[in-house]
A = this chain, B = another copy of it.
Amino acid sequence: MVNRQFVLAARPEGMLRESDFRLVESSLPPVRDGEMLVRARYLSVDPYMRGRMSAARSYAPSVEIGEVMTGGAVAEVVESCNAAFHSGDIVNFQMGWQEYAISNGAGVRKVDPSLAPISTALGILGMTGLTSYFGVVEVCAVKPGDTFVVSGAAGAVGSAAGQIAKIRGARVIGIAGGAAKIDYLRGELGFDDAIDYKVVPDIAAALRDACPDRIDAYFDNVGGTTTDAVIAHLNTFARIGICGQISQANDTAPSLGPRMYRHLLVARARAQGFLVWDFAPEHANALSELAGWIASGRLKYREDVMDGFESMPKALIGLFRGENIGKRVVRVA
């Protein structure tokens, strides 16, 4: 049986290119006892994948040249010799960038198709939604009356983070680029304000206008000059959750900016990097809460669906161009 996979062809230098990936065909071995064969239905693309392609230190090992790209998927069980899974089951696991995989069931979570569209297991009811949840609730420790700012606000994580902060009683300001994103944040998602960083002449001034009482909590997805401006406008005892640094992802040299420790000192603020897996024991409870908010209409989400396995590289590269509103996934035919 023939499988198609994307392997890492080259370590990217600067902005990702399609030539950093290579589509290969391989044959799948037969399914052995305890194993199952699954077919990808949706593959996730996420900014963290850029880090895995690099040899630089990160929180997880790098993908080696020639190795299948890492990534989450929603897949359907095609054939099972594992008693816990049956043909037709929908599952979610780190399948990698491939159309088929054989799994022994380790780390595989079943997805209930009656709860929500199965693709949401990669987004609002998966790693993305959980990242937003723990960033807002645990790391930013958002409380009623806080002024909460989120960068990358129209992305999968940012759009949920802002809504969760609103549910917790904060005044929410999103930072994003482009009129469509700003409209989405102010309109459909009900953010209190939104700043278009591509249009405002001075993001620091825009933040001062939007946050007259300064900033109590900041959910950072982007880093760079946006974050510099936020840090200079913190309120006393502010909390910063560092979730991503997408503006720096394709840099080839360390990015220089104003040193910001004095701002943390003066505000007695806290900046903390975090990873959704640090909260694994609490994931199940958080998923229930997220599902409840979706059901009651308090938490909205969008998916940006691209079609065809072969579009994976384009889909990922587009994240770094800010193409997407909401969670980008690739539907595999």
- Name A residues whose Cβ lies closer than 8 Å to a Cβ of B: 57-59, 220, 223-224, 227-228, 236, 242-245, 248, 254-259, 261-262, 264-275, 278
Given contacts A264-B272, A273-B265, is CB(A254)–CB(B244) below 8 Å? no
What is the bound-complex CA distance between A244 and B223, given in angstroms?
24
Shortest Cβ distance from A152 into chain B, in angstroms? 13
What is the bound-complex CA distance between A114 and B227, given in angstroms?
52
Interface of A, helix, strand, loop or mixed by DSSP: mixed
Q: Across the interface, name the chain B residue whose C-beta is closest to A268.
A: B273
Identify 28 residue pairs between A and B in the complex whose beta-carbon atoms are under 8 Å apart, listed by A's number. A58-B266, A59-B236, A59-B267, A59-B268, A223-B259, A223-B262, A224-B259, A227-B261, A244-B265, A248-B259, A255-B258, A256-B257, A256-B258, A256-B259, A257-B257, A257-B259, A261-B271, A264-B271, A264-B273, A265-B273, A268-B272, A268-B273, A268-B274, A269-B272, A270-B270, A270-B271, A270-B273, A271-B271
| Contact B224–A266 (Cβ < 8 Å) | no
Given contacts A227-B261, A254-B259, A259-B224, is CB(A57)–CB(B275) below 8 Å? no
Shortest Cβ distance from A186 into chain B, in angstroms? 27
Other contacts beyond A245-B262, A248-B262: 6, CB < 8 A: A59-B268, A242-B265, A265-B273, A268-B275, A270-B271, A270-B272
